[in-house]
Amino acid sequence: MIPIRISLDRDLYEHADRVSRRQGVSLTDFCRRTLREALARYPEDKPWMAYVGSLEGRPRDSSTVDHVVYGRDTR
């Protein structure tokens, strides 16, 4: 392990401390787990995966795309 030192504002620290206690883990383990989960959204071998599911739109937008791109009317 590589030791690091970080600074947190009081509210963030207290919130993280409460959550880690509820989960029954040390604050250090909680920080490691949280960082690991956050980094899992950004795989190094597939950086484009960070954007999967991040686009917003209306439920019928894909049919609009079909119409515009392929000339198909799916409505």
- Rounded Cα distance between 75 and 63, Å, is 7
Q: pTM to 2 decimals?
A: 0.58
Residue bearing tokens 């950004």: 42
Convert the pLDDT of each residue in 17-73 to its tens digit.
Answer: 999 999 999 999 999 999 999 988 777 777 666 666 656 667 666 666 666 677 766
Q: Would you state the pLDDT for residue 37?
A: 92
